[in-house]
Amino acid sequence: MKKNRSLIVIITLLIQTLFIIIINNAIFSSTNIAVLKEFIPLINLFILVVAMLTILSIKKVLEEAENDIKIKLLKKQLQEVENLNYMLQTQQHEHSRHIQSIQAMVYLEAKEELKEYINGIAKNYRYTDNLINVGHPAVTSLVNTKRNIAQSLGIDFAIASKCNLSSLNIPAWDLTSILGNLIDNAIEAAVYDTHPRVAIEFTSEDEIYNIIIKNNGLVIPDETDIFQPGFSTKDPMSRGYGLFIVKNLIDYYGGEISFNKVKHTTIVHLKLPSKQLCHKSVACK
């Protein structure tokens, strides 16, 4: 369907161009201008109709392109939730297996083997006791998954949750698109530093949620409109729409976003309204 719409745009533009060329040639070679004047209203009407069809087709193509980007972002966030769920299921299976092994050794009174086995678990087994709950299931899964990704890249990833995000007035799919894009940018910038670090802080004050994301590494160039579609510090052919979508979503839900630089650190500050504040204001969706 998308290819058909793009083809319609191309065809209508070609028809309009071809028609204008034909009219120009007719005017240039005609010996009787008076006859052509009789058809000018019809010609203008035809050009107007074709132009309107072209504009409508282009609008539809742009809408579909934006929807495709949103779908890709949503799929990405769902994949991250699935990855976290898989990790938790795997570790639950590991817990069960270890308990069964320990139970068997206790039954057999194999004290030395049991001691060695428990020491091995304590040394090598990876626990999820440090799973950070921010009071919002989607955000909890997102930030913990991103932390695992960052740590696998050698990035120091810190999360400070000083509030409960359950009252945020943004649907989970849009909220994870916002935070997922910003955290991805922070991780990708931090890897360029010799001591990469990403930090996220969640606080609330006066029914406003403040989310601050900090990272070192690459910083945003000065005097750059980072929210324009196509902006990227990386490959512009494959990226450049993440911050554009983030800004549109934040504006839609009555929030604010700002970027600051302190030496080699980029600081992103999000202000998002709570449900309680939105009940008092018409600015929220």
Q: What is the CATH class of 130-280? A: alpha beta
- Write out pLDDT tens, residues 184-229: 999 999 999 999 999 999 999 888 999 999 999 988 766 456 666 5
- Write out pLDDT tens, residues 136-150: 888 888 898 899 889
For 75, the token pair is 């799929």
Of 83-92, 97-106, 113-122, 207-216, the one with minimum mean pLDDT is 83-92
pTM: 0.58
Q: How many residues does the chain have?
A: 285
How high is the pLDDT of residue 87?
Answer: 67
For residue 128, is pLDDT > 70?
no
Q: Which residue has the higher pLDDT, 52 or 197?
A: 197
How high is the pLDDT of residue 236?
Answer: 39
Which percentage of the chain shows pLDDT scores above 90? Answer: 19
Q: What is the mean pLDDT of residues 167-194?
A: 90
How high is the pLDDT of residue 107?
Answer: 81
How high is the pLDDT of residue 55?
Answer: 78
250: nearest Cα among 147, 181, 164, 157: 181
Q: Which residues pair with 115 in a beta bridge?
A: none
Q: What is the mean pLDDT of residues 86-106?
A: 76
How high is the pLDDT of residue 88?
Answer: 67
Q: What is the mean pLDDT of residues 27-46?
A: 69
How high is the pLDDT of residue 28?
Answer: 67
Which percentage of the chain shows pLDDT scores above 70? Answer: 73
Cβ-in-10-Å burial (0-12, 13-18, 19+) of 162 comes to: exposed
pLDDT band at residue 263, thresholds of 50, 70 and 90? confident
> Please, what is the average pLDDT of the chain?
78
> What whole-number distance in Å separates Cα of residue 117 and Cα of residue 105?
9
The most confident of 19-28, 66-75, 161-170, 186-195, by mean pLDDT = 186-195
Q: What is the residue extent of each domain of the chain? A: 2-74, 130-280
How high is the pLDDT of residue 31?
Answer: 66
For 243, the token pair is 């911050």
121-128: Cβ within 8 A, 24+ apart: 125/94, 125/98, 126/91, 127/91, 128/87, 128/88, 128/91
Q: What is the mean pLDDT of residues 80-93?
A: 69
For 134, the token pair is 């921010």
